[in-house]
Amino acid sequence: MKFVLEVDIETPQDKDRTVTELGRILRYWGGNLHHYDMKPGDGSAVHDSAHREVGNWKIAS
């Protein structure tokens, strides 16, 4: 199985905010994976804390 997570966030001036936002995204989406079958083709959009779509994850194979 190949799990692909792609996130493109605007890099704020504050590096700590970037690290915090990426950590939140990883925790949130990692915690929600049990809702999916985890089969090739599964995936979802990824949103930041302001509810903006910033990427996606998918099962590639």
Domain ranges across the chain: 3-59
- pLDDT recorded at residue 58: 95
CB-count exposure of residue 2 (10 Å: 0-12, 13-18, 19+): exposed
- pLDDT recorded at residue 17: 83
| Per-position pLDDT tens, the chain of length 61 | 999 999 987 766 777 888 888 999 999 888 888 999 999 999 999 998 889 999 999 999 8
Evaluate whether 5 touches 57 at the Cβ level (below 8 Å).
yes
